[in-house]
Every structure is written in structure tokens, then in C-alpha cells.
Amino acid sequence: MQNILWGGATSASQYEGWGTRKGLDTQDVRPYLPRTSVATTATRLLTRDNVLSALTPDSDSNYPFRRGAQGIEHTDEDLDLLEELGLQIYRLSISWSRLFPTGTEETPDLEGIAYYDHIFRRLNRAGIKIFVTMNHYALPVELVLSQGGWTNRKTILHYLRFARTVLEHWGDLVDYWLPFNEINAGYFSPFNGLGVLRKEDGSYDYNQIFRALHHQFVASAKTIQLGRQLGIKGQFGSMIACFCYYPLTPKPEDNLKLVLDEQINQWFCMDVLSKGYYPYYMKRFFAQHQVDLAETTEDLELLAAYTCDFVSFSYYSSSIVTTEESGQQQAGNLVATHKNPYLKASDWGWQIDPTGLQTTLHKVYDRYNKPVIISENGFGAHDQLTADGKIHDDYRIDYFAKHFAAIKQAAAEGVDLRAYMAWGIIDIVSAGSCEMDKRYGVIYVDADNVGNGSYARYKKDSFHWYRNFLQQNR
Ligand code: BG6
């Protein structure tokens, strides 16, 4: 059985905060809005006017990604804590607009280069393996306003200049490369994933979304091509958000709907990036929705030639598919689902299902037959800091213990699993709802939804539990 690396993950926009020098990106213009429904969309799906008004915010506006977890101010302290924890692999992302503030500069900002250089060298010295997400949602906002984000083919060129910078600077330090976080998120969350704006009437243009995704597929293949040309040692992967669908009933129509929904929502992007071609079912979907990708022969050749070395996914909870109109709505990552009577849920309604993770591992490995990495998993919860500086998060320990057991079981059953990364290992701003209150970390950050607090770090009970687990699982 392959040895699994156990680790933790953050993303630049959720962790770093602005620090000193950085261009505005698509996360920086998302306000915190108190939640009103199971599916938080108001701060995820932005119009052009929303973005423009965020460029000159009024004094009441609250843009949490500009603070993040004040990672820039706490970098060394956090790296000390990760080392003390005994992390075996750390996943982090590079802020595109910290290196290229508008996305179109010819050369990178040297202060930004120095910042990541410091982190990578420290991780290397500590013997912690590095998993780099080149782009975790945040896109320089200028690229959205001036050229339509990923709908524009030119964005591939700008991305490639960024990717080349990253590969040339840190190619010898990084173990795993991921061109895009949760690439299928672009379909549900077009602003976060693709820099595609919602129309004033609230709708989206499918043509724009799927062209933008196509451009990301090409950018991903070109990044792998570049990595091979530069002789980069690390492996290149792709990543999707996985939802582990169950039919609400054994009704044949529910099961058929499951298969069809799963194709579009979950597998499509990974099928392209891992197999190297558009699957048959997308041809039907594109015809039904009058989507014209405007793909070139060269695009299709690149996709076929530069497929990913490993497949990775995020998994938080499972989902239900039904043909009934009336199922009870339930929240989930990126998309709302239905209530599963056999499962309990988090305070945010995400249903807790370790067996769903075991199932997902089998499905992913069976479908792609490539090494698998769980690039995100964890439990978002309200935590309470006690007067003596403790956080008793037994619910998170319980979530980890059950999910880790399911992971080990899947590995024992033959899944070639290389690494697991606990999401938001340090508390960070939530990507879905822009809250600080939704905490995943084993390290607590003293800050609230509107930026009050000292941003001091505290070890939760789960820190000690995970540290012990990491020592026993080397
Ligand atoms: C994934 C994203 O979709 O889910 C992360 O890649 C995100 O950026 C994570 O933080 C958890 O979602 P949320 O909305 O609870 O932050």
C-alpha cells in the first residue's frame, strides 16, 4: 500500500490579506453579506456594477478577503506552528495579482517573488512537501473589467506568463502542481472560477461559461507542456469538487438523473483534463444549449498531449439527486442539495458522510486510474475561544477521525492515494460566504466577520489530536 502524506491547505486570497503590495483580484471585491438562505450566492455571483462599486468602497463596506487571516503579517509564526504540528505536506496557492497586479505586466513584482521564495525555502528546510495551486479562484480584477476574464482567449497568454514565472522560480522546490483549484466550480460559481460577470437580469450566458472553461483547459495543458519543456520535477494535476451523489429513491428515473447530473456537475472537467478529450455527453449538452466553444485543432491536440499526472478533488459532504420537485433543500459546497435522513449536518447544513468519501475515492480512481490526492476536506464550524485560550473542538476531531478511517479503508481496498490535505488548516475567510466564523482550522485565528480581533493564533484541541495522528502516520 502506498504511503499517504497527511497535510493541510490554505489559499492565498483566504489566508494572506493584502499586506503591502498587491493588485485587486476577484475575491477582494466580494463583500461580506449576512447569510439569508441555504445557498449563499449574493456575494459569489457579481455583476459589473457590483465590481465597479467595490473599487471605491464606502466606509460601511466590508471586504474580508482584503484582510484574510492576516497571513502576511503572521507568516513565520504560522510556518512555525505547521512545523510543530508535524505537517507532511502543505498546499498553498500563489496570488496572481501579488505577482502581476493587473495581470498584464511583463515582469513580476519582486516583493511578491520574495514573499513566496521565503515560504518555499522554509518549507523545504522543514522537510514539508509542497503542493502549489497556481490559481485558486482569484483573478486580477482588471482582466475581468477590461477583457471579460476567462471568456477572452488572451487570458491564456497572461496566465501562461504568470505560470512561467512560478515554474521558473520554484520549479526545483515544489512536489505537486495544480494549475486550477476546483475547475468545475466555474460552472456553479462563474465569477469566482472564471471571472465571468452575472448579467443585470441575474442570468448567465452558457456560451461564455463553457468558452471560459475551455480556455482554462487549454491553459492547464499549456502549463503542463511548459513544465515538461522546463524539465520541472514535480507532478502536474487537475482538481474537481466532488459531491458524492445518491438518488433520493430507488426510482429508476432518480438514478438516471444522478448519472446525468454527475456527468455535467462533477466529471466533465476532469474527463477533459485527465483523458484528453471532450466526453460524448458534452457534445449533446452543447448542442442542447447552443454552445459553440470556438475550439481550434491546436487546442484539441494540446488537450490530448498534455493530460494530468494525478487527479485530485475536494470533498466535504454528499448530495442527493431527485426528480421530485418537493425534496427538502439542504446546503452543500457550491450547490444546494436535499436532506439525507441518514446523515447529520454541520451548522452550515453540509451533511457529514465519511462513507461518501470512501465511495468517492473508489469512483475517482476507477474512472481515471491515476494517482489520487484529496486536496481538500474538513469541517467548517463555529468555535469558541475560552478565557484560558483553549478551543475544545471535539466535533472536528470526530469528523477527522471518521474521515481518516474511511480514507485508510479505501487505500487498503486498493485506491492509489498519495496525499490528504485538511482544508483551512489555519482559520481563514470562507470562500463561499466570506465569513470568518466558519472555521476549519486546527489553529484558531482571533478575528470575526467584520475584522474585529487581535488575529492572534491559538492551538485548538484538534491541533494536538492531529499532531499525534501525524506522528503515528509517517
Ligand atoms: C472549496 C474551495 O470549494 O471549499 C475553498 O476550494 C473553500 O476555497 C472550501 O474555502 C470550503 O468552502 P467554504 O465556503 O466553507 O469556505
- Report how far residue 65's alpha carbon sits from residue 59's, in angstroms, rounded to the nearest whole number: 16
Tell which atom from ligand 1 comes closest to the C-alpha of 429.
Answer: 16
pLDDT higher than threshold 60 for residue 387: yes
Indicate if 376 belongs to the active site.
Answer: yes
How does pLDDT run across 189-218, given as a tens digit for each residue?
Answer: 999 999 999 988 878 889 999 999 999 999
How does pLDDT run across 160-193, given as a tens digit for each residue?
Answer: 999 999 999 999 999 999 999 999 999 989 999 9
Give the chain's mean pLDDT.
95
Mean pLDDT of 265-288: 97
Q: Is the CB of 99 under 6 A from ligand 1?
A: no
**375 confidence band (pLDDT: 50, 70, 90):** very high
Query: Which among 30, 184, 188, 333 is the best mutation to test ligand 1's pocket, defined by most ligand atoms within 8 Å of the CB?
Result: 333
Tell which atom from ligand 1 comes closest to the C-alpha of 378.
Answer: 11
Cβ-Cβ contacts under 8 Å for 61 (sequence gap 6 or more): 31, 54
Task: Calculate how far, in angstroms, residue 10's C-alpha sits from the geometric centre of ligand 1.
Answer: 10
**Per-residue model confidence (pLDDT) at position 470:** 98
Tell which atom from ligand 1 comes closest to the C-alpha of 423.
Answer: 9
Indicate if 182 belongs to the active site.
Answer: yes
- Report how far residue 143's alpha carbon sits from residue 246's, in angstroms, rounded to the nearest whole number: 39
Task: Calculate how far, in angstroms, residue 8's C-alpha sits from the geometric centre of ligand 1.
Answer: 14
**Per-residue model confidence (pLDDT) at position 45:** 85
Task: Calculate how far, in angstroms, residue 374's C-alpha sits from the geometric centre of ligand 1.
Answer: 14
Cβ-Cβ contacts under 8 Å for 132 (sequence gap 6 or more): 91, 92, 93, 94, 166, 170, 174, 176, 177, 178
The total domain count for the chain is 1
Q: Which three cell numbers stand for residue 379?
A: 469541517
Question: Bridge partners of 457?
Answer: 445
Q: Is the CB of 380 under 6 A from ligand 1?
A: yes
| Protein residue whose Cα sits closest to atom 7 of ligand 1 | 431
Q: How far is CA 315 from CA 296, 332, 381, 442, in A?
A: 34, 10, 16, 18
Mean pLDDT of 39-46: 75
Catalytic member of 16, 182, 262, 435: 182
**Per-residue model confidence (pLDDT) at position 312:** 98
Q: Which residues of 12-28 are buried (b: 16+ CB within 10 A; e: fewer)?
A: bbbbbbbbeebbbbbbb
Percent of the chain's residues with pLDDT above 90: 89
Q: Which residues of 375-393 are buried (b: 16+ CB within 10 A; e: fewer)?
A: bbbbbbbebeeeeeeebeb
**Per-residue model confidence (pLDDT) at position 336:** 76
Q: Is the CB of 11 under 6 A from ligand 1?
A: yes
Q: Is the CB of 376 under 6 A from ligand 1?
A: yes
Mean pLDDT of 93-107: 98
Tell which atom from ligand 1 comes closest to the C-alpha of 438.
Answer: 15
336 compared with 280, residue with greater pLDDT: 280
How does pLDDT run across 51-90, given as a tens digit for each residue?
Answer: 999 998 887 789 999 999 999 999 999 999 999 999 999 9
pLDDT higher than threshold 90 for residue 338: no
**421 confidence band (pLDDT: 50, 70, 90):** very high
Task: Calculate how far, in angstroms, residue 356's C-alpha sits from the geometric centre of ligand 1.
Answer: 18
Task: Calculate how far, in angstroms, residue 236's C-alpha sits from the geometric centre of ligand 1.
Answer: 22
Q: What is the CATH number of the domain that holds 446?
A: 3.20.20.80
**Per-residue model confidence (pLDDT) at position 34:** 81
Q: Is the CB of 266 under 6 A from ligand 1?
A: no
**Per-residue model confidence (pLDDT) at position 1:** 60
Which of 422, 421, 423, 452 has the alpha carbon at shortest distance from 437? 452
pLDDT higher than threshold 70 for residue 37: no
pLDDT higher than threshold 80 for residue 328: no
**327 confidence band (pLDDT: 50, 70, 90):** low
- DSSP state letters, 142-182: HHHHHH-GGGSTHHHHHHHHHHHHHHHHHTTT-SEEEEESS
**325 confidence band (pLDDT: 50, 70, 90):** confident
Q: Is the CB of 437 under 6 A from ligand 1?
A: no
**Per-residue model confidence (pLDDT) at position 20:** 75
Q: Is the CB of 331 under 6 A from ligand 1?
A: no
Residues of the domain holding 77:
5-472
Q: Is the CB of 431 under 6 A from ligand 1?
A: yes
Which of 399, 313, 405 has the alpha carbon at shortest distance from 361? 313
**330 confidence band (pLDDT: 50, 70, 90):** confident
**Per-residue model confidence (pLDDT) at position 241:** 97
**Per-residue model confidence (pLDDT) at position 40:** 63
Q: Is the CB of 40 under 6 A from ligand 1?
A: no
**Per-residue model confidence (pLDDT) at position 199:** 86
**44 confidence band (pLDDT: 50, 70, 90):** confident
- Please state which of the ranges 30-44, 239-253, 355-369, 436-450 shows the lowest mean pLDDT: 30-44
pLDDT higher than threshold 60 for residue 38: no
What is the CA 139 to chain-centroid distance, rounded?
A: 14
Percent of the chain's residues with pLDDT above 70: 98
- Report how far residue 438's alpha carbon sits from residue 384's, in angstroms, rounded to the nearest whole number: 12
Q: Which three cell numbers stand for residue 440?
A: 476549519
